[in-house]
Amino acid sequence: MQTLKGFSICSGIGGLDIAFQSEYIGVQTIGYCEIEPYAQAILHSRMREGWLDSAPIWPDIKTLEESTIGNVDIIYGGIPCQPHSIAGKRKREEDARDLWPDTYRILRDVRPRFFFLENVSGFSTRSGESPAFAWRVLDDLTRIGYDVRWTHVAAKEVGAPHRRKRFFLLAYTRCEPKHLFEWFHGEEPETSSSGFPPDSEDSQQWQFILKRYPQLAPAIESNLRGRVDGLAVGVDKYRRKRLEGLGNGVVPQQAIQAWLTLTNDYSLT
């Protein structure tokens, strides 16, 4: 497998970074860009623990320039989903949180060989009478010399106990070889043994697990994820930040599956 030098934008708490630095993709990340202090702290923690490559964190994509990024093979990230989520108002380019113009500026200036984008499934669906925002992205990328392919992968497809369907896009320069898979071939991820707990409604599987690990029984006492029922022993001031980080993030196995799909061995013409 070929090692790529990469730069991570809108890094969040590092879900995509774990995927891209895994043995399945093999990117060496030389820099991150993330504006939220809590997410920055999580990235630093994961670097110290060895989960992520140690590298500087640039605090704002709007001031990120070619000279800061340097010569990289791939830029990857998940720009904010709020302008495109069906759970919001879907203002798209009229939403101040839309960071596609800054992402496009960076790609135009740096011209990496590859660009990988993750976003919510609403990114690729119509909003009223307006076409999918993804079409603007595709048009911009082709204008600066990229070919593009995309796919959708749900977290449930890789064993997670929730749906979390996501849109994934891979852009590559037109001078790349016709068979991307020759560059990035790796073993398929083990989706049948993913390490996720069963779905909350999968009572049969939970019974099997509790027979082997009865100490887990109190942890599923409540339908609420994270804490058992009862009085709180203290105030967790970071709980909201954790939930926001998880909500904005992506399951690493999900991104790996998307990458393997998008780099599969059929001709790129």
Backbone angles phi, psi at 165, to 5 degrees: -75, 135
Q: Tell me the two tokens of residue 140.
A: 């911009």
Q: Are 58 and 37 in contact (CB under 8 A)?
A: no
CA distances from 169 to 95, 110, 118 (A): 21, 18, 7
Name the amino acid, one letter, at 71. N
Widest distance between CA atoms in the chain: 61
Alpha-carbon Rg for the chain, nearest whole angstrom, is 20
Using pLDDT thresholds of 50, 70 and 90, give the confidence band for residue 224: very low
Structural element, H or E, at residue 181: helix 181-184
Which are the contacts of 59, defined by CB distance < 8 A and separation ≥ 6? 33, 34, 35, 40
Q: How far apart are CA 150 and CA 170, in angstroms?
A: 6
Q: What is the rounded average pLDDT of the residues 89-105?
A: 71
Termini Cα distance of the chain: 23
The pLDDT value recorded for residue 256 is 92
Class in CATH terms, 4-191+243-262:
alpha beta
* CB crowding 187-223: b at 16 or more within 10 Å, else e: eebeeeeeebbbeeeeeeebeeeeeeeeeeeeeeeee
**28 pLDDT more than 50:** yes
Give the residues across from 8 on adjacent strands.
32, 76
**127 pLDDT more than 50:** yes
**pLDDT tens by residue, 191-216:** 445 566 666 666 766 666 666 666 56
Q: What is the rounded average pLDDT of the residues 2-19?
A: 92
Greater confidence (185 vs 160) lies with: 160
Its pTM surpasses 0.85: no
**40 pLDDT more than 80:** yes
Q: Tell me the two tokens of residue 143.
A: 């204008």
Count the alpha carbons within 13 Å of 231 in the hemisphere toward its beta carbon.
Answer: 1
The pLDDT value recorded for residue 170 is 95
Q: What is the rounded average pLDDT of the residues 99-124?
A: 90
Q: Which residues make up the CATH 3.40.50.150 domain(s) of the chain? A: 4-191+243-262
The pLDDT value recorded for residue 30 is 97
Greater confidence (111 vs 210) lies with: 111
Q: How far apart are CA 118 and CA 5, in angstroms?
A: 19
Residue with tokens 């919510």: 120
